[in-house]
């Protein structure tokens, strides 16, 4: 095989140009002006070029007028030039890659990681008597099976898992399912009182309560404890339903649709005939509570929300403004950026196409997983979240595949609460 002199010249030229471009590709289209401008460009190997625009050298060329009718090379005055110094790559240890059931930690540099390490106490609240469908008492087990507890430990959080709360003798002796009504609330009253006591203990230990449900009646206990510990507490209730029915307005009698009516100050006394809840103190002002993702609200609930002037954002609002704008509006209304914030989330806030009917009261047209993660991420960045609960996960409903999907969705949501959104640290 013969190589001509021209081919050798062409190969040499390509190599020379390639090296030159790799060093200063960014500067190839940037004019060196004004003098003194500095630019730092980073290479793929981590090293960088620090370049400064130097003034042109003084001209020593005498310019003569060209003879008429002759082509001559036009003289160009001296130009300012880039002078570069190569800086070696810094050796910075990257955060280790840890994978727990498919959820990967970030590869961001340790010095850039912004995740706030917390002292977290996990508690399962296997309450099911706030509604008539069997299986929701196994929600905490399904959420744990996602590996979220192990993932948070791997990130570096201090985790204590208290297991499931003992909900009392009346609760355990009562039959599961059936037509549970507000006319027989002893089981729910005892169960939520135990949830209150357990949450209160976690707070007194200066830890973050993370609660897995169980039906949403559990919020009677958690919100009672949170508002007692944090007198200026703000709350965001993420749910397809308002859950603010009272004894007089509830069309179903299901107590998982009533928790907010027990803890909001302006509704004190509206459920006074339910003596099993005499331990509950309604401490939270209505102005400190907001709803997000509403789309199935009873007429009595609408009247209460309007009368109290509560912040409530429906799915139509999210479609109109976008989820990030809704989060901003919510925090502004309840002053959630300057107060401790508790977030109570029902899995039915997500669209039924996302969760596959693995909840007792699914409603079409809800949040996508992407919207849910964006919402939680913005709350993490903008507010001081002091507690979180995820309710109404029912593995007995929907298919086995849907159950696995909801476990994965729950894991991503809960990881995002602590700054690990989309599988990364933020």
**What per-residue confidence (pLDDT) applies to 168?**
80
Got the DSSP string for 309-364?
T-EEEEHHHHHHH-HHHHHHHHHHHHTTTTSEEEEEEEGGGB-HHHHTT-SSS--S
**What per-residue confidence (pLDDT) applies to 176?**
40
State the DSSP H helix or E strand holding residue 144, giving kind and residue range, or none if neither: helix 139-145
**What per-residue confidence (pLDDT) applies to 78?**
62
Domain positions in the chain are 20-55, 119-418
Instruction: Give CB contacts under 8 A, 24+ apart, made by 324-332.
Output: 324/374, 324/375, 324/378, 326/292, 326/375, 327/292, 327/375, 327/378, 327/379, 327/382, 328/378, 328/382, 330/236, 330/290, 330/292, 331/379, 331/382, 331/383
**What per-residue confidence (pLDDT) applies to 37?**
55
| DSSP E strand stretches across 141-225 | 158-164, 208-213
As annotated, the active-site residues are: 216, 239, 241, 243, 256, 346, 348, 392
Question: What is the CATH architecture of 119-418?
Answer: 3-Layer(aba) Sandwich (3.40)
10-residue averages of pLDDT along the chain (426 residues) = 66 53 43 56 52 62 51 56 54 38 35 74 95 93 96 96 86 44 77 97 98 96 98 98 95 94 96 93 97 97 97 97 97 97 97 92 95 97 97 94 95 96 64
Q: Are 393 and 125 in contact (CB under 8 A)?
A: no
pTM over 0.85: no
Which of 238, 213, 236 shows the shortest CA–CA distance to 391?
213
Sign of the alpha-carbon torsion through 283, 285, 288, 290:
positive
Q: Are 212 and 139 in contact (CB under 8 A)?
A: yes
**What per-residue confidence (pLDDT) applies to 108?**
33
């Amino acid at each position: 095989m013969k190589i001509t002199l021209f081919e050798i010249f062409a190969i040499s030229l390509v190599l020379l140009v390639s090296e030159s471009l790799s060093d200063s590709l960014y500067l190839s289209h940037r004019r060196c002006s004004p003098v003194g401008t500095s630019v730092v460009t980073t290479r793929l190997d981590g090293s960088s070029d620090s370049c400064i625009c130097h003034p042109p050298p003084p001209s020593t060329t005498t310019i003569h007028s060209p003879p008429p009718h002759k082509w001559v090379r036009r003289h160009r005055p001296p130009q300012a030039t880039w002078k570069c110094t190569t800086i070696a790559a810094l050796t910075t240890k990257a955060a280790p890659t840890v994978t727990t059931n498919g959820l990967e930690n970030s590869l961001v540099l340790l010095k850039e990681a912004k995740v706030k390490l917390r002292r977290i106490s996990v508690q399962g609240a296997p309450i099911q008597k706030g509604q008539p469908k069997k299986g929701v008492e196994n929600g905490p087990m399904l959420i744990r099976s996602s590996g979220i507890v192990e993932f948070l430990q791997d990130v570096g959080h201090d985790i204590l898992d208290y297991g499931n709360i003992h909900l009392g003798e009346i609760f355990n002796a009562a039959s599961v399912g059936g037509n549970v009504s507000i006319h027989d609330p002893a089981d729910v009253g005892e169960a939520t009182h135990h949830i209150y006591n357990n949450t209160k203990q976690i707070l007194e230990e200066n830890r973050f309560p993370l609660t897995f449900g169980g039906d949403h009646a559990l919020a009677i206990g958690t919100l009672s404890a949170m508002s007692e510990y944090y007198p200026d507490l703000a709350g965001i209730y993420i749910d397809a339903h308002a859950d603010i029915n009272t004894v007089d307005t509830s069309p179903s009698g299901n107590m998982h649709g009533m928790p907010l009516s027990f803890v909001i100050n302006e509704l004190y006394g509206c459920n006074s005939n339910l003596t099993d809840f005499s331990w509950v103190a309604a401490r939270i002002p209505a102005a400190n509570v907001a709803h997000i993702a509403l789309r199935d609200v009873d007429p009595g609930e609408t009247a209460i929300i309007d009368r109290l002037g509560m912040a409530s954002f429906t799915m139509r609002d999210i479609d109109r403004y976008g989820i990030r704008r809704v989060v901003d509006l919510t925090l502004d209304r309840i002053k959630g950026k300057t107060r401790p914030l508790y977030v109570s989330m029902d899995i039915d806030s997500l669209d039924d196409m996302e969760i596959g009917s693995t909840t007792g009261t699914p409603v079409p047209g809800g949040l996508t997983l992407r919207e849910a993660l964006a919402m939680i991420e913005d709350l993490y960045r903008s507010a001081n979240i002091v507690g979180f609960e995820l309710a109404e996960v029912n593995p007995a409903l929907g298919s086995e595949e849907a159950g696995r999907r909801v476990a994965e969705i729950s894991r991503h949501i809960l990881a995002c609460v602590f700054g690990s959104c989309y599988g990364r640290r933020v």
